[in-house]
Structure 1
Amino acid sequence: MERRSAPDQLDQRAQVLLKTLIERYIAEGQPVGSRALSKFSGLDLSPATVRNVMADLEEMGFIASPHTSAGRVPTPHGYRFFVDCLLTVRPLPQERVHEIESEL
């Protein structure tokens, strides 16, 4: 069975939670729990609701639990979806471009 990486594969709430989970995991290097996702996602969701969405994301192969009581971490499939569908690339401010060019 081939996994799709189309934005319509996940509803908006699941996309926001997956993006938040991956960003928190990249920033902290630790499994991310439902309470942290509830706090940092910007969505008005209880940790219990977040846990339900996390269970769905885990079932679909986007996230995994390193051990029973831990938070969740992104899987390669989750990272791929993040890069293909959720990551926004912003251009560098012109002043930063000039700084970089002057260093070269």
Structure 2
Amino acid sequence: MTDGAKLFEDMNTRSREVFRRVVEGYLENGEPMGSRTLTRTLTEKVSAATVRNVMQDLEYLGLLDSPHISAGRIPTQMGLRMFVDGLLEIGEMNVVDREKLNATVADTAQDVDGMLDQIGSALSGITQGASLVLTPKQQAPIKHIEFVSLAEDRALVVLVFANGQVENRLFTPPPGQTPSSMREAANFLNALIEGRT
């Protein structure tokens, strides 16, 4: 477990939610997130003063920063790294999620491509992340992967194989995915899959 993951795990539920919402708000619009705005979006109803105290604690931990005294907070580089690391951590699938996935497979009476598309959508919904499901028909090593943002809710994944064959698939990216985050994901996958089939 990374230091960031341990730190995140040690936070209470309120601190985790405030941190997550500040980062997501910043990634969405690039602006500092204020305590008054946060009080309207938090699951637990608390005062703006309580939110400011939590944000101050997160700032003390080095996860948030304030561009100036009267501004809201933005994530620090360490805070963003911890947020991204948290997105990439993979845990065991719980029983309820496994049952949802099994139900998706059982309800799918389509061709293999349709079934894989449904499974990919179900996995994306369960993990709140991007999922990529590939068929085993291609035996050539993957040479390159690229994600192309087409619209806010549509993207294309392009797979280039060592034998020159190219396959592409449309998919719905998770909410909040930006073209730069998809480029980072492609770079990560390209480094990971180099020379693999």
TM-score range, shorter chain: 0.7 to 0.9
Deviation, 1:4, is 2.5
Matched residue, 1:44: 45
User: Which structure carries more strand by proportion?
Assistant: 2
* 1:91 is aligned to 2:131: yes
Deviation, 1:21, is 0.5
CA distance in 1, matches of 2:169, 2:85: 32
Residues 60-88 of structure 1 deviation map (CA, whole Å, 9 limit, x = unaligned): 00000001111111001111121122574
Deviation, 1:8, is 2.1
Matched residue, 2:3: 4
CA distance in 2, matches of 1:24, 1:30: 7
Deviation, 1:16, is 0.7
Matched residue, 1:53: 54
CA distance in 1, matches of 2:12, 2:87: 12
User: Which structure is larger by alpha-carbon Rg, 1 or 2?
Assistant: 2
The gaps in structure 2 that reach 5 residues or longer are 89-127, 133-153, 158-167, 171-197
Counting matched residue pairs gives 98
Closer, same or farther in 2 for the Cα pair 1:48/1:86, shift >3 Å?
farther
AA aligned to 1:41 is L
- Look up the SS of the partner of 1:20 in the other structure: helix
CA distance in 2, matches of 1:55, 1:102: 44
The TM-score, its normalising length taken from structure 1, stands at: 0.78
Deviation, 1:43, is 2.3
CA distance in 1, matches of 2:131, 2:20: 20
Closer, same or farther in 2 for the Cα pair 1:69/1:8, shift >3 Å?
same
Closer, same or farther in 2 for the Cα pair 1:91/1:35, shift >3 Å?
same
Query: CA RMSD of the aligned region, Å?
Result: 2.7
Superposition misfits of 4+ residues, deviation over 4 angstroms: none
Deviation, 1:37, is 1.2
CA distance in 1, matches of 2:22, 2:10: 17
Quick check: 1:19–1:86 contact (8 Å CA) kept in 2?
no
Deviation, 1:11, is 1.4
Deviation, 1:27, is 1.1
Kindly indicate whether structure 1 or structure 2 has the higher relative contact order, using CA contacts under 8 Å at least 6 residues apart.
Answer: 1
